[in-house]
Chains A and B, each alone.
Chain A
Amino acid sequence: MSMYQVKPVCGSLLKTDLPTCMYTLPNIHGQQGNSCTSDLCSQHALQNGEVDPAVKALEARQDEILRKLYELKAAVDGLAKTVTTPDADLDLTVSSSLSSQSPSSTTFTGVTNLDTLLGKDLGALRDIVINANPAQPPLTLLVLHSVLCQRYRVLSTVHVHSSVSNVPPQLLSCLGPRHADSYARQMFQLGFTLIWKDVPKLQMKFSVQNMCPIEGEANVARFLFKLLSPYPNDAALATLVDSWVDMAFFQLAEGSAKERAAVLRALNSALGRSPWLAGQEFSLADMACYCCVLQSGPASSTPSNVQRWLKSCENLGHFSPAKPFLQ
């Protein structure tokens, strides 16, 4: 292997005085023969296929980095999905514990499947956003909200827009306590977001990609009621409901004393013919007129049929959410 060897010029165990402030290095001159053989051994071992632990560590580090990169990519993909489908919920791992909750409603039957009513959606929460003026709390909508909550899993939230200040606490809590599972939006069927805002007329925004914003409490009430129960099939009855709703919101709620008296007379004669305003079934007409009659003033001059009907409405138990605002 080597052609010639130089003999050590000094003794192998030479003691040198080393400074202690520096790192010590092995004496390269010292165990020359020994170190040479061990190096050879390790070189042979590497050639035989064994892996140096340093390389192993390096590979492990690379794997770890790659794994982190994949995770990052997955997270970015998830975020991209929320951008393409607004409202999609990232965290699908939360089990839907609410699905066992059974809907219970006594008066409203007929509609149970939101998909058939509103069309398929792609995993996004159907959020009904309502801008209302705190000067005129929409009592009918509060009543409808509480009935919707009995039928569907509703995620309700109340916000205050910066255009209004000093919203009374009872308006802030008008949709009931905050739901414990409100972080998991995919567990709900409907979102009901009420924003107290300085708007001249109540507004509803729903599915804004293909629908214009809907103005007017009457129209929003019609929409919400259709989620609970279909309108009568009979064209005349359905239109009768609509005309009572118009009368309630335009003449009872906003009209002069004379107009109110005329509507009360009309209510009285209609209620003389049938138990409810649109025939044998409780409908949106009764709900709207009840709220507007109570809102519009004292009940002293109320005709007898109307008084009987007010009691019947009372007995249904739907109107408790509106009670705190009827002073």
Chain B
Amino acid sequence: MALNLTINTSNPPLGALLAAEHVKASVQISVEEGKDTRLQVSDAIQFNDTNSISRYLARVAPALGLYGSNMMEQTEVDHWLEFSARRLCGQSGVSAALGELDKALSLRTFLVGQSVTLADLSVWASLKGHAEWPSQGKTCSHVNRWFFFLSSQVPFTAVGNKYASKKAPMTKSNTLVLAYHAATMDLRGLPTSQDMVRPTPQHSALHQAKQLRCTRIASECTQFPSAKHT
């Protein structure tokens, strides 16, 4: 069955478009421009919001693992879907959200697991469409690394070039930051996507031990909160 995704051209749902771009090899899907965003699944069921469309597309192509590989990863993906829809879209409190995102990415290449998931797609899409990014995100080195790593991948460049410009025309500051990143990449060699995968600290034993210790301390603090009782 061929799926038909209609998008609102004045506010393109980047996350859903990215999901469509990822699954198009395994599912027949066509994208049409219109007034409302919707994915008609059957006579009775249609989905209108980005997160539901992304979820459905990830589920019809389970081999890609876009919804995580187990129940815990699924829950993390759910967390980031809500995070991008609610925390990164509002105009206030974005810097706090970016701080949290930076912390989460400090020891990770992808947001969930070891490969790209809906979490990466939706958070990337929210940042891409956000007016204050990347001027707000200068201090978040981990988010910057992750964002430009994804931006260099084929599905992201395809969607970014085609749709993102429609919503937020490239401003001068955006161009400057992109140029800056291109320059820093040149210093390290060719700016190919392979080059941008820096050796992740999560594979190094020392960092793993460090992370484990930190998280353990954190977990003990939460599990035995009686010491903090009033």
Contact = CB atoms under 8 A, between A and B. Distances in A.
Interface of A: 86-87, 117-119, 127, 129, 131, 159-162, 165, 193, 195, 205-216, 218-219, 222-223, 226, 235-236, 238-240, 242-243, 246, 250, 273
A226 to B, nearest CB: 6
A4 B220 CA distance: 85
Interface string B200-230: 0000000000011001101110110110111
Given A214-B79, A218-B82, A246-B51, A193 B56 contact: no
A223 B75 contact: yes
A159 to B, nearest CB: 5
B75 A87 contact: no
Nearest to A129: B222
Interface of A, helix, strand, loop or mixed by DSSP: mixed
Contact of B59 (A195, A226, A235): A235
13 contacts: A159-B229, A162-B229, A195-B222, A208-B218, A214-B79, A219-B78, A223-B78, A226-B71, A226-B75, A236-B41, A238-B59, A242-B51, A243-B51
A66 to B, nearest CB: 35
A195 B76 CA distance: 21
B219 A212 contact: no
A276 to B, nearest CB: 14
Nearest to A227: B71
Contacts of B47: 239, 243
B72 A118 contact: yes
Closest 6 CB pairs of A and B: A235-B59, A239-B56, A243-B52, A219-B78, A223-B75, A162-B228
A131 B221 CA distance: 13
Given A223-B75, A246-B49, A273-B44, A239 B219 contact: no
A237 B51 CA distance: 15
Interface residues of B, number: 38
B83 interface: yes
A90 to B, nearest CB: 15
Interface in B48-63: 49, 51-52, 55-56, 59-60
Contact of A129 (B60, B79, B223): B223
A204 to B, nearest CB: 8
B82 A216 contact: yes
Interface in B87-140: 104
A285 to B, nearest CB: 12
Nearest to A220: B75
Nearest to A238: B59
A214 B74 CA distance: 11
Contacts of B219: 86, 205, 208-209
B117 to A, nearest CB: 12
A18 B223 CA distance: 75
B70 interface: yes
B215 A209 contact: yes
Given A209-B216, A239-B55, A165 B49 contact: no
A295 B211 CA distance: 41
A205 B222 contact: yes
B45 interface: yes
B220 A219 contact: no
Contacts of A162: 228-230
A87 to B, nearest CB: 7
Nearest to B220: A86
B42 A193 contact: no
A165 B230 contact: yes
Contacts of B104: 212
A160 B55 contact: no
A293 B79 CA distance: 23
A195 B79 contact: no
A86 B41 CA distance: 46
Contacts of B60: 235
- A118, A208, A239: residue with the most chain B Cβ atoms closer than 10 Å: A239
Contact of B212 (A159, A209, A212, A243): A209
A242 B53 CA distance: 11
B227 to A, nearest CB: 9
Contacts of A222: 74-75, 78
